[in-house]
Amino acid sequence: MTTAAAVLERGLGELELETTEEQRAGLLKLAQLTETWGRRLNLTGHRSALRIVERLVLDASALSMALPPFESLADLGSGAGYPGLPMAILRPELRVTLVEARERRHHFQKAAVRELGLANARPRRGRAENLDPEPHAAVIAQAMAQPEAALAWMLPWAASGGWLILPGAAEVPNVPTDERSGWVLEPARHYQVPCGGPQRTLWLARAGARVGMG
């Protein structure tokens, strides 16, 4: 019988992602917490720890490897905490802010941060467009809204020159742009989710300099 632990080990191996025993245990525990809470709350469509590892944890792990280096990340509309929580485990030097409006998902994020001892992750409850934004070196929105709407909400959370990140499926998200858009487009990136997972793309841009931003 295939187990979540075995799939996690194989997937990280396929990615050639170097992890400590503590990090692997943290990723597995996150999947188990998501499964347990998901029995009471509609956290995700994936109900078992095995499927959560396959579809969420390894997807976030592959995404983490495809991204450029940065020191802080705002994960807007983070839902059950993906990809922000796995990235906080895999990049202990990374400061992660999880922004989620739905109360039950926010409570799950707080419990997961506490259970996993993630001093580098902080959940904030509210809609990204309504909260006071904190500039980060990178901002990501995964399935949050249509790209143009998501980017309008992302920009206030990005420091000047910070990364704007929109994960996509096999095709790069189509985002109309002009000189007033507030970002500079970067080359798209492609990556593969391990263990037979899907091909993914990343739309990337750098936030333009704005008055009052250092």
Cis peptide before 187 (omega within 30 of 0): no
Q: Is residue 82 part of a domain?
A: yes
Domain that holds residue 159: 58-207
Looking at the structure of the chain, the number of domains it has is: 1
At 154, list the tokens. Answer: 């992302």
Q: Is residue 15 part of a domain?
A: no
Categorize the per-residue pLDDT at 142 as very low, low, confident or very high, splitting at 50, 70 and 90: confident
At 159, list the tokens. Answer: 């420091």
Categorize the per-residue pLDDT at 192 as very low, low, confident or very high, splitting at 50, 70 and 90: very high
Single pTM value for the model:
0.93
Please state the separation of Cα 50 from the chain's center in Å. 19
Q: Residue 110, exposed/middle/buried by CB under 10 A (0-12, 13-18, 19+)? A: middle
Categorize the per-residue pLDDT at 12 as very low, low, confident or very high, splitting at 50, 70 and 90: very high
**Predicted local confidence at residue 22, as pLDDT:** 98
Q: Is the pLDDT of residue 90 over 70?
A: yes
Q: Is residue 51 part of a domain?
A: no
Q: Is residue 198 part of a domain?
A: yes
CA-CA-CA-CA torsion sign (174, 178, 183, 184): positive
Q: Is residue 33 part of a domain?
A: no
Q: Is the pLDDT of residue 169 over 50?
A: yes
- CA dihedral of residues 27, 29, 30, 36 (deg, nearest 10): 150
d(CA 214, CA 205): 18
CATH number for the domain harbouring residue 114: 3.40.50.150
Q: Is residue 4 part of a domain?
A: no
At 179, list the tokens. Answer: 């000189």
Out of 43-57, 58-72, 167-181, pick the least confident: 167-181
**Predicted local confidence at residue 145, as pLDDT:** 67
d(CA 61, CA 37): 22
Q: Is residue 50 part of a domain?
A: no
Instruction: Please write the tens of the pLDDT for every residue from 100-126.
Output: 999 999 999 999 999 999 999 999 999
Q: Is residue 11 part of a domain?
A: no
